[in-house]
Amino acid sequence: MRTVLNILWLVFGGLVSALMWWLAGALMAVSIIGLPWARACFVIGKFSLWPFGRDAVSRNLVTGQEDIGTGTLGLLGNIIWFAVAGVWLAIAHLTAALACFVSIIGIPFGLQYWKLAMLAIAPIGKTIIPVR
């Protein structure tokens, strides 16, 4: 079932979502300062192509220890990210989620857009894991 939903997702919005994330990553990669955010954008862009069956969680939950992205510098990076690009990506994903929630068939897709919107708010320090 996940495969079918992922294929439908890809055709009906996942590709546009991934392109939006990759565009944000390319804009961040223009400067050396933006490279940490660019990497996060490219990872999330890949995640947004095939979101069913995967989830974004904090890296310290997976590894059991704090690192540079899950500590104070990660928090500072997420605040800067939110002010520069995160708010716009989150609004775009929330708008798409609301459009999907209009129909019963669109609810699973709206939930994926919701997941991406929450990830757009604070992507630094997150990793993508499979969901069982």
Residue 129: both structure tokens together: 């894991």
Type of residue numbered 85: A
Domain that holds residue 123: 1-130
What is the pLDDT of the chain when averaged over all its residues? 91
In the predicted structure, residue 59 carries a pLDDT above the cut 90? no
Report, as an integer, the average pLDDT of 95-110: 94
Catalogue the E-assigned strands of 1-132.
54-58, 126-130
Report, as an integer, the average pLDDT of 11-22: 90
Give the per-residue pLDDT at 47: 94
Residue 105: both structure tokens together: 């068939």
The number of domains in the chain is 1
What distance in Å separates the CA atoms of residue 123 and residue 107, rounded to the nearest whole number? 24
Residue 98: CB atoms within 10 Å: 13
Residue 1: both structure tokens together: 């079932």
